[in-house]
Each structure stands twice: as structure tokens, then as C-alpha cells.
Chains A and B, each alone.
Chain A
Amino acid sequence: MKGIYAYIVRRLLLAIPILLGVTVLIFSIMHLIPGDPLDYVLRGRPVTPETLQLMKEKLGLNLPLHVQYLRYLSGLLRGDWGESIRTRVSVLTELSSRYVNTLQLAVLGIAISLLIGIPLGVIAAVKQNSVFDYLSMIGALFGVSIPGFWFAIVLIMMFSVGLHWLPASGNDSVLCYIMPALTVGLGGTGFVARLTRSSMLEVLRQDYVRTARAKGLRERIVVYKHALKNAIIPVITMVGIQFGYLLGGTVIIEMVFAWPGIGRLLVVAVWAHDIPVIQGCALSFTLIFILISLTVDIAYAYLNPQIRYE
């Protein structure tokens, strides 16, 4: 078990340069947008040259770029993420009320993809070339090919407009979670099912599975204890890698269902050119992403002892 702690520490240390790179990129948006960064703050309000100079100094825009970056970085660490140009509210306050909602949606989405995708893939692999195999793989292909926003619209038309069963927007009751979570989970389900199937097919051909069967173990035990335990490893890794895609999907889905998460905040900020909010949202999305990748990597190291000693 000792190896795993060393692995976690090493993995955490590896995340630091990536995080720094991410902050450099996010910091530089301010200077990459065409025109003077101050134009975006002032939005055409008339100001005297003295006020302009004062604002420049307050925002540190007259300092050399690397000093500005260090100021930005130390601000991030001190919890000063700037304030929204539009609402004048601190970015961290805006984010803190919303990120739980996004996280909920993302975690529910992953849970749905794993809970439906893995059994579907396992059964498809065990009954390779059967009707069930074909049907579930067609279903999986549908899952990865349907545009999430369109699936969401179809759900709304069916269950909100047509049947009046589920609310079309908001997040104030349990019923509100059903359609957004399903939509987020859909693409992931297809992806997980396809991956589990191919991984299982590979493992079922291995000698140790044949040995287990030859020993006279029940097929159930062979499939779920011997084969699935090994087949699940690549699935977990890929889910970690694909998580960014899933998280990206939540942005769109939050827009469709008027879900009060970071994704919606981000899109509205992009519309309004509210740079500090854009930076804050991008950073928190990336932080969530890196955190979950880390968790998945650690889970992977836990499942596969070989990786710890690499």
C-alpha cells in the first residue's frame, strides 16, 4: 500500500506545471483580445485622463507582463479572482454559488454512463454477435452520435411540452435533475459501453479466463470476477481522459435547461465580454477536470499495482 502514497504525491507534483501553464494561458486572454484591456472594463463610458491613469494603476496594467502575471497568480492564491465587469460582484462569489450545480450534473452524468454502459458492454461481449450485442452497439453508436443539445430538446418536447411530467428548466426539485443528468450521461454511456465491450472481448480470450473456466467455475464468476476486474482498467482510464468531453457537454446542457452552473455563467460572460468571469469559469472548469483526472489516475493505480512502481 505504501507505493500508492508515493504515486499520489508524484502525480500531484506533476499537476503543478500543468496548472501553471493553464493559468498563463487564462491570464493571457486579457492581453490577446484585440484593443486595450481597459476598453472592456470601461465599455465606452467617458472618463478623464486622470481616472484612466488611476484605473490602469489599480488594475496593474502599466506594469511589465510578467509582473502582471505574478500579481494575477498571487491574487488567485489569496482568493482574489477579480470582479465581474457586468455585475461588480466578486468572481469567486459568483462561482461558489454555482460550481456545486455543475459538479452534481457531471458526477450524475458519469454515474449514469458507468451504471448503464458497463453492464451493457459486458453483456454485449459475453453474447458476442447476438441480437443483444447488435442492438446495444447500435444504441451505443446512437449515444455517441446524438448532439446533446438536440437530445435535450427532444426530451423537453416529449416530457415537458407533451406529457407535462418533468419541468423544462431550473434545479429546484429532484424532478429537475432527471433530464439534464440523462443528457449528460447519454454520450458517456455509449462511449463506456463500446469500450467495455471491446475490452471484455480482449480479456475473455486470455488464458487465465480459459483456466478459470476449465477449473469448472461458474460462468458468472468467470465473467464478473476474473474477466471484468481486468477489463475495467482501460475503461476507467479512458473515462478519465474523456471526462473533459463530458464536462464540456455540461456547458451546453446547462444552457438548454437553464441550469444555474458554471457553464451557463461562462457562456453568458462570453456573450457580454466579461473577461474576469470568463477567466474564473475557465479556471474552475479546468480545476474540476484536473481534480477528477487525478482521482481517476489514483483509482487506476489502486486497481493496477504495476503502475505504481513505474
Chain B
Amino acid sequence: MFKRIEKAHGHVDELAEVWRRLKKNKASLFGLLVFIFMPIMAIFSPYIALHDPIEMHLDETLLPPSWKYPFGTDDFGRCIFSRVVFGSRLSLEVGIIAVLIAMIFGVLLGLISGYFGGKLDTLIMRCMDILLSFPWIVLCLLIVTILGTGLVNVMIAVGIGTIPEFSRLVRSEVLIIKEKQYIKAAIATGASEKRTLFRHILPNCLASIIILATLTIPGAILSAAALGFIGMGAQPPTPEWGRMCSDGRAFLHNAWWISTFPGLMIFLTVIGLNLLGDGLRDALDPRLRA
């Protein structure tokens, strides 16, 4: 109690408070564990993996899980476990980069839309409505048609599909913040529009932006995996989880492990990130508590 009062200034206390609230929720702690475990697996893949993820062992195809191959082998005799471990890199990359793309464009458009209002606002929001009237995967497939298949294009496609969520959120925040006294004061003291927007308004939207980002990363990972599954993403032999699930479909009757483990990893990652997102939302902004 005293310790908290001693430190009762600035960000340290705020972070401690967030941590204190997050800690109370056991489910979000599991999410945090996944959140920490995923990058570790991604960074240290070469040390965790038992084999080369694309090396074929043609005399050891379709082997069930064993000590040598914990998740079994696929039809080329590749180690599923090692492929899953290396696959974490791709999923993490896709999730983060897609959301970054959505965040950068969405936040900019939302700031402009909310701050300047008028025709510009109408134009931007109508464009967002048009993007939103496509089912997400149809929009992604159109973008992939234009850009071609591949992991980078999937990131771009998923990112573009997520822009409206950010722009709508930021716009509604700006509309509220714009009316606050301190913004009027900033403008009255001669702050330029750019300064008002980026130094005064943006920082006040950050909490919501961060919450939305953590809430959209799992969705982005799922979408990218789904696109990988239908062959639009990473091309073989890249160990992408969605693609691996799809490749295993030909062997459901004699090698269940090929599809099962990559899918399980997607599931665990997404559920962990969802739990962390929910927990963070509750801890950072109790108003939004579901």
C-alpha cells in the first residue's frame, strides 16, 4: 500500500496498476504466457527445432509421432514439429505487420476524418463503408488477384481489410477529444494543426489504439492462416501453418498428425492472444469491459 503511494507519479504507477489488474485475471495470464512464448519460439526456432524444417527424409515418410519426430513426419518425411516451430515466425510476422499496416493507414485516416470533418470526413468514411461491405476474405482475394499470391501480399491484403476498424475507432475518439478544453487551449496558444493532431490528440487515442491492435492481431493471424490454407499465402516448402493444415488433408485417413498439429498451434496462439487482448482491455479501460 505505502509502496504504491510512494511511486504515485507518472507512468510507473499507471503500468503497475495495469499489471495489478491484469494479474487478477488468471485467463489473461495464460494469454500473456502465450504472448511471451510465441516470440521466444520464433526467435530461437533453430535451437528448438530438432530437424531442418524443409529437409526431406524420403525413407521416413508419414511416420507417427515418436521421440525422434515428436509430431510425426509428412509425406516428404519432413519433421512436423520443426516445421511448426519455424512456422511461428511466419504467423507472428503476418499478425504484426498486417496490423501495423492497418494501424498506420487507419489511424491517419481516422485523425484526418475526425479532425477536419466536412466533405473529407464524408469521403473517407464512405470509402471505409465500401471496404466494409466486402466480406473480409473476398476483399483479401481481390487484393491477392491484383498483387499475386505470397506471404507479403497476404499481409497487405489482411492489413487493408483491417484499416476501417482503426479509422472508425480513431475518428470517434478524435470527435470526443477535439471538444476538450486542453485542445482548445492548445489551438488558442497557437499550436499548428499538425502539432495539435500529433502531440495533443493522438497520444490521447493511444490506449484505445493499443487495445484494438492487440484485439485484431489474433484475427489477422487467423485470416492469414485461412488464406494460406486455400493456397494464396506462402508457397511450399515454406512451413506456414495454414498451408500445412491444407497439405495434410490428403492423408486424413492414415496420417492425422500432419493437419492436426499446425492447426492446434494456430488455435493456441489465437486463443492466447484473444485472452490477453480481453485482459488488457479490461485492465486499461474498464469502461469497455464486456
* Interface residues, chain A, with chain B CB atoms under 8 Å away: 17-18, 21-22, 25-26, 29, 32-34, 141-142, 144-150, 153-154, 156-157, 161, 194-195, 198, 244-245, 247-249, 251-252, 255-256, 266-267, 270-271, 273, 275, 278, 281-282, 285-286, 289-290, 293
What's the Cα separation between A196 and B260 when bound, in Å? Answer: 32
A270–B146 CB distance below 8 A = no
Contact A153 B263 (CB under 8 A): yes
Interface string of B214-245 (1 = CB under 8 A from A): 00001000100110011110000000001001
B186 within 8 A of partner (CB): no
Q: Does B188 contact A (CB under 8 A)?
A: no
Whether the pair B256, A157 counts as a contact (CB closer than 8 A) is yes
A154 to B261, CA, bound (A): 11
- Decide: A266 near B267, CB < 8 A? Known: A22-B133, A149-B229, A252-B230: no
Closest B residue, CB atoms, query A275: B145
Contacts of A21 in B (CB 8 A): 126-127, 129-130, 133
Q: Which residues of A contact B274 (CB under 8 A)?
A: 141, 144-145
Contact A282/B138 with A141-B271, A147-B266, A148-B226 known, Cβ cut-off 8 Å: yes
Known A-B contacts A141-B274, A266-B138; the reply to A18 vs B129 at CB < 8 A is yes
- Chain B nearest CB from A256 CB (Å) reads 8
Closest to B226 in A: A252
A153: chain B residues within 8 A (beta carbon): 245, 248-249, 252, 259-260, 263
Q: Which residues of B contact A248 (CB under 8 A)?
A: 135-138
CB contacts (< 8 Å) of B135 on chain A: these are: 244-245, 247-248, 251, 285-286, 289
At the interface, yes or no: B201 with Cβ under 8 Å from chain A? no
* CB atoms of A251 and B259 under 8 A apart: no
Main secondary structure of the interface of B (DSSP, over half): helix
**Most A CB atoms within 10 A — which of B133, B231, B253, B267?**
B133
**CB neighbours of B267 from chain A (8 A):** 145-147, 150
Could you tell me the distance between the alpha carbons of A282 and B256 in the complex, rounded to whole angstroms? 34
CA distance A256 to B249 in the complex (A): 9
B107 is an interface residue with CB less than 8 A from chain A = no
**A145, A156, A267, A286: the one within 8 Å of B133 (CB):** A286
> How many A-B contacts are there with CB distance less than 8 Å?
135
By a CB distance below 8 angstroms, the chain B residues around A150 are 245, 259, 263-264, 266-267
- Give Cα A32–Cα B141 distance, bound, in whole angstroms: 14
Instruction: Tell me which of B126, B146, B218, B231 contacts A145 (CB under 8 A).
Output: B218
Report the minimal beta-carbon distance from B136 to chain A, rounded to whole angstroms.
Answer: 4
Could you tell me if A25 and B130 are in contact, using CB atoms closer than 8 angstroms? yes
* Residues 259-284 (chain B) with a chain A CB within 8 angstroms: 259-260, 263-264, 266-267, 270-271, 274-275
CB distance from A165 to the nearest CB of B (A): 15
Q: Which residues of A contact B141 (CB under 8 A)?
A: 251, 266-267, 270, 278, 282
How far is the CB of B29 from the nearest CB of chain A, in Å?
A: 15
Do residues A255 and B230 form an inter-chain contact, with CB atoms below 8 A? Answer: yes
When distances are taken between beta carbons in the complex, the residues of chain A under 8 Å from B146 are 29, 32-33
In the complex, what residues of A have CB within 8 A of residue B270's CB? 145-147
Most chain B Cβ neighbours within 10 Å, of A142, A252, A275, A281: A252
Starting from the known contacts A34-B148, A149-B226, A285-B135, 20 additional A-B residue pairs (CB-CB under 8 Å) come to A18-B129, A21-B126, A21-B133, A22-B130, A141-B275, A149-B229, A149-B263, A150-B264, A153-B252, A153-B260, A157-B259, A244-B135, A244-B136, A252-B137, A270-B141, A270-B144, A270-B232, A278-B142, A282-B142, A286-B133
The interface residues of chain A lying within 8 Å CB-to-CB of B271 are: 141-142, 145
A255 to B148, CA, bound (A): 20
